[in-house]
Chains A and B, each alone.
Chain A
Amino acid sequence: MSGHSIIQVRNLSKSFGKNLVLNEISTDFEKNKVVSIIGPSGGGKSTFLRCLNLLEIPTSGQIIFDGTDLCAKDVDINKQRQRIGMVFQHFNLFNNMNVMRNLTVAPVRILGMEKEEAEAKAIKLLKRLGLEDKASSYPSQLSGGQKQRIAIVRSLMMEPDVMLFDEPTSALDPEMIGEVLDVMKMLASAGMTMIIVTHEMRFAREVSNRILFLDGGRIDEDRPADEFFDSPRSPRLISFLDKVL
């Protein structure tokens, strides 16, 4: 293991009513590394990811982001969230704003960036993805793949220290999955710290440094990507891989 951890998770538990979804999870996420989380549905993957930026409030445990315990009472969670990008399964672009405004509203309103500066930055990023002609479109006029790529750019505009991806390709038509994964690969090779919940096994293997298998609210296996697929140890992971590969 090299580099220092940007997120440390300590004894994280989350229950919804009587239903224990996450059970005492502890793990570290390092800077500039890509970690994928896979596992059966209902295993707690999304809940785990959503706890990392406190979209779900953990029942107990700690999430230490760059030295700050996010669950502490005196922490301004809004300040911390600015540094944690999140990409959703259903894109969640702001429907009442065009693409340009989707990209610039947070940098301008939250970071106090000049509007012109933010727009120049947005154009630069859109050009890199070949989406500059969509700047004045509204989300309803875009394809799923375009929406998700714009959503990734929206996160990038804030220059986050880490990006969370919650099943970013699950709601896409098959022919659009590639274009989104390509953008994510680009980010990974640029050194972005990424935590990805995904069902795309090939992609996970290709892009991740490490893979977690989350099942029954616990991390059942935690290995470098190649080992994870080539020599899985946990019986549940073996049967899971049998089913999906």
Chain B
Amino acid sequence: MGFFAQIAAILERYTPFFMEGVKNTLIIAALSVVLGLIFGTLMAVMRMCRIKPLKWIAVAYIEFIRGTPLMVQLMFIFYGLPMIGITFPDVSWIPNFSRFMAGIVAMSMNSCAYIAEVIRSGIQAVDSGQMEAARSIGFRYRESMTLVILPQAVKNILPALGNEFVTVIKESSIVSVIGIADLMFRTNDVIAVTYRSLPCLAIAACIYFVMTFIGGRFIALLEKRMRHERA
């Protein structure tokens, strides 16, 4: 049987399997980015605030998370935390809830650090003259931020945030190691029953690519629309 015939045969039989993986991957990626965005914003604010201890905490967190492997962070949360008595509860009507929670917590804690940096650099990329002009005309710091700085910063932040979403989709494949049934996990399942690793991995790669490609196009579109708005 040729390579493409093998792929066709596998798809015919196991498409629902892959699709369940896709569903879980997307759920984890979306939740991680949303939570990462919420806490990342908070972290960016702390990172830029004038209260020194808050700033230090944020810097330490961001540097530590960005400087250690996601795999280690994931293991730490899934295997490490229960050992010191912190467990995620099981919810009877959602299978594997505690596993899922560990995965999402690890992914969003990780993404939070990257997003905080994206937001901070987006704000700091706005020309300092803009803040000076706003302050010199009599606006308070907060008004200057909301009226002048943030609307300009959003244009820097959104594209980078889109890239982060694409990154999270790819990186989320790592949660398969703690037994979450994402696309990678399901791919391994199919390999285990068919003994055909190459076609299965090719299918997985294609699906990941389609997801990130669509995500990337969508962001490019958003970017283009915003540029038109400005001019």
Cα distance, A85 to B139, chains bound together (Å): 12
- B129 lies within 8 A of A109 (CB): no
Please tell me if the beta carbons of A106 and B152 are within 8 angstroms of each other in the complex.
no
Query: CA–CA, A147 to B152, complex, Å?
Result: 18
| Residue-wise interface mask of A (65-85) relative to B, using a CB-CB cutoff of 8 A (1 in contact, 0 not) | 000000000000011011011
A92 sits at the interface (CB 8 A):
yes
State in angstroms the CA–CA spacing of A234 and B137 once bound together.
36
Closest to A110 in B: B138
Interface residues of A (CB under 8 A from B): 53, 55, 78-79, 81-82, 84-86, 88, 90-97, 105-106, 109-110, 138, 140-141, 151, 154-155, 158
Q: A88-B129, A138-B231, A140-B230 are in contact. Are A155 and B148 (CB under 8 A)?
A: no
Cα–Cα, bound, A158→B137 (Å): 8
The answer, among B134, B143, B147, B231, for a CB contact under 8 Å with A140, is B231
Q: How far is the CA of A77 from the CA of B175 in the complex (A)?
A: 53
Flag if B138 contacts A79 (CB, 8 Å): yes
Contact at B136–A84, with CB atoms within 8 Å? yes
Q: Is A81 a contact partner of B133 (Cβ separation < 8 A)? A: no
Partner of B147, one of A92, A93, A109: A109
Of A78, A151, A158, the most chain B CB neighbours within 10 A belong to: A78
**Residue contact B138 to A93, C-beta cutoff 8 Å:** no
The answer to whether A94 and B130 have CB atoms under 8 Å apart is: yes
7 tightest A-B CB contacts, nearest first: A82-B138, A92-B133, A92-B129, A86-B136, A96-B151, A81-B138, A106-B137
Bound state CA distance, A97 and B127, in angstroms?
15
Q: How far is the CB of B94 from chain A (nearest CB, A)?
A: 43
Check B130–A106 contact: CB distance below 8 A: no
Bound state CA distance, A82 and B47, in angstroms? 30
A88 adjacent to B138 (CB under 8 Å): no
Q: If A105-B147, A109-B147, A138-B230 touch, does A92 touch B138 (CB 8 Å cutoff)?
A: no
| Size category of the binding interface on chain B | 10 to 19
Whole-angstrom distance between the alpha carbons of A90 and B131 in the complex? 13
Answer whether residue B132 sits at the interface, using C-beta atoms and an 8 A cutoff: yes
* Given contact pairs A105-B147, A141-B231, A95 touches B138 in the complex (Cβ within 8 A): no
B139: contacting residue among A55, A84, A109, A138, CB under 8 A: A109
Q: Chain B contacts of A97 at CB under 8 A?
A: 148
Of residues 171 through 227 on chain B, the ones whose CB sits less than 8 Å from some CB of chain A are none
Q: Indicate whether B170 reaches chain A with its CB closer than 8 angstroms.
A: no
Known: A96-B148, A109-B143, A138-B230. A155 touches B129 (CB 8 A): no
Known: A81-B137, A151-B133. 5 other contacts (CB 8 A): A84-B136, A92-B133, A94-B148, A95-B127, A106-B138
Residues in A with CB closer than 8 Å to B230 are 95-96, 138, 140
Say yes or no: B132 contacts A82, CB within 8 Å. Answer: no
- For residue B140, CB closer than 8 A to chain A, the reply is yes
Given contacts A94-B148, A140-B230, contact A53 B143 (CB under 8 A): no
Q: Is the CB of B231 within 8 A of A94?
A: no
What residues of chain B lie closer than 8 Å to A94, measured between beta carbons? 130, 133-134, 147-148
Interface-centre pick from B127, B134, B136, B231 (highest chain A CB count, 10 A):
B136
Say whether B135 faces chain A, with CB atoms less than 8 Å apart: yes
Q: How far is the CA of A190 from the CA of B78 in the complex (A)?
A: 74
Q: How far is the CA of A92 from the CA of B127 in the complex (A)?
A: 9
Q: How far is the CB of B164 from chain A (nearest CB, A)?
A: 23
Task: Return chain A residues, CB-CB under 8 Å to B136.
Answer: 53, 55, 81, 84, 86
A79 to B137, CA, bound (A): 9
